[in-house]
Amino acid sequence: MSYDLIAGLMFSSLMLMMLTGQRVFGAIGFVAVVAALWLWGTGGSDLGYSAVMKLMKWNALLTLPMFIFMGYVMSESRLASDLFKMFHVWFGPLPGGLAIGTILLMVLISAMNGLSVAGMAIGSTIALPQLDKHKYDRRMISGVIQAGSSLGILIPPSVVLVLYAMIARQPVGHLWLAGILPGLLMAVIFIIYIAVRCRLNPDLGPPITKEESEQISWAEKISLLRAGLLPVFIFAVILVPFIMGWASLTEASVIGALATVLVAVAKGRFTWRVFEESTRQTLAITCMFMLIILAALSFGAVFDGLGAGKVIEGVFVGELHLEPWQILVLMQLSFLVMGMFLDDTAMLVIVAPLYVTLVDQLGYSLIWYGVLYTITCQIAYLTPPFGYNLFLMRAMAPKDYTLPMIYRSVVPFVLMMLVTLIIVMVFPQLALWLPGLVYS
């Protein structure tokens, strides 16, 4: 049997195994170890375990539990609710203003945390009830929270970019800075969309009433702005020591986590319940991610052993005679399709190593490609049937947010993400200008 056939067989059995609904890490791991045993006999039996030792040396993964912990402390202690109140008061009187405020809140959360889980938790506990109370359209609410929280992986600090940095062997600092402008651009596109839709049809996002906004005095409005200092503080304690080279990446994430705890303590909100809940959830979510990465790494090792990279390269460069930019577009398209069915970390660990070498050979910047990859991941979070934010939304939102409604709500936002992806593809300077400026 030829190696490309085996690779194809592995990939289709992976899809089939995922469909059984068994835990994702079990599905991926099973295909990986069975393939290894089948191909290399008893010599393949240690392949699965060797991933544990390989993963141990990926220091940057230590940031994962730190960011998860920080996100949970922030949402459980309701630190972010002051922030939302600030946006509520300042933007509420505009049509769609609370939805715009939610996007801005998500941008700030993203600047403090590297995962989309934190934004989802904060969005659904703090923003969602308020938007519901003000009779915002449910589809608008669900779309805004899911799309907004996905910015967490594009705006630094970002865990997805850290993983990408390890696979592509690129400096994390450059990648993080490269994500800033595209992330802000995407947020601006979201905001324009919300503003236009709500102006045309005020029922989607009715402004808060005059009486409600007049209840709050100007002095109070000004003092609420102080809430905005929190994200600036946390962003600075993580990014500054890291970019300046005073602390390693993992150390910077520890500082961020401890700074969040410190703020919560100072505000008197760090109760035993917050502590217990955050610690337990951090373990649960970290285990979920790490078990998937572990299984995907074994799968990727078998795939790599088969020379799947050469096969893909052969198809793109040799058989199809494509221009470099066409290959790039095809790669993005295949990522988008895979992202619908695969977990994004699994996708990164299995497929990215194959693509990254190709991108490098074509002469493109791997920093820029990292940003493109991350935007694709954001889309993957929102596209059914397998999308983390869809799962989280259903788990966290009230029962009357049904699955079909949640699916439909993301459509306009996915389109806007695609627009951002195309803009960044056409204008690579959007990603590359800032890192060039800082590290020149």
Partner 1 sequence: MPDWIKSYVRWVEAINYRVGRFTMYLLFVIMGVMLWSMASKVTHLPANWTLETAQFLFVAYYLLGAPYSMQLDTNVRMDLLYGRLNQRTQVMWDILTIFFLIFYIGVMLYGAIDSTVYSFSIGERNPTAWRPPLWPVKLVTCIAFSLLLLQAVAHFFRDVATLRKVSI
Q: Which residues are at the interface with partner 1 (CB under 8 A)?
A: 17-27, 29-30, 32-34, 37, 45-50, 52-53, 55-57, 59, 61-62, 65-66, 69, 247-248, 250-251, 254-255, 257-258, 279-280, 282-288, 290-292, 295, 341, 343, 384-386, 388, 391
DSSP symbol at 44: G
* Residue number, 58 or 427, with CB nearest to partner 1: 58
- Closest distance between partner 1 and the C-beta of residue 371, in Å? 26
The answer to whether the CB of 172 falls within 8 A of the CB of 249 is yes
Coil, strand or helix at 328: helix
* Residue number, 67 or 235, with CB nearest to partner 1: 67
Name the residue among 148, 200, 146, 102 with its Cα closest to residue 405.
146
Cα 243 from Cα 230, distance rounded (Å): 20
- Closest distance between partner 1 and the C-beta of residue 384, in Å? 8
* Residue number, 49 or 325, with CB nearest to partner 1: 49
The answer to whether the CB of 128 falls within 8 A of the CB of 145 is yes
Residues in the chain: 440
User: Left, alpha or beta for 268 (phi > 0: left; psi -120 to 50: alpha)?
Assistant: left
Cα 373 from Cα 211, distance rounded (Å): 47
- Closest distance between partner 1 and the C-beta of residue 76, in Å? 15
Residues 6+ apart with CB under 8 A from 159: 63, 64, 67, 114, 115, 153
* Residue number, 30 or 91, with CB nearest to partner 1: 30
Coil, strand or helix at 240: helix
* Residue number, 224 or 261, with CB nearest to partner 1: 261
* Residue number, 128 or 261, with CB nearest to partner 1: 261
The answer to whether the CB of 294 falls within 8 A of the CB of 25 is yes
- Closest distance between partner 1 and the C-beta of residue 342, in Å? 9
- Closest distance between partner 1 and the C-beta of residue 265, in Å? 15
Cα 202 from Cα 194, distance rounded (Å): 11
370 alpha carbon, distance to own chain's centre = 13
* Residue number, 14 or 144, with CB nearest to partner 1: 14
Burial 322-349 (b: 16+ CB within 10 A, else e): eeeeebbeebbeebbebbebbbbbbbbb
* Residue number, 247 or 329, with CB nearest to partner 1: 247
- Closest distance between partner 1 and the C-beta of residue 230, in Å? 21
- Closest distance between partner 1 and the C-beta of residue 339, in Å? 13
Total Cβ atoms within 10 A of residue 417: 25
The answer to whether the CB of 327 falls within 8 A of the CB of 425 is no
- Closest distance between partner 1 and the C-beta of residue 45, in Å? 6
- Closest distance between partner 1 and the C-beta of residue 275, in Å? 10
* Residue number, 95 or 387, with CB nearest to partner 1: 387
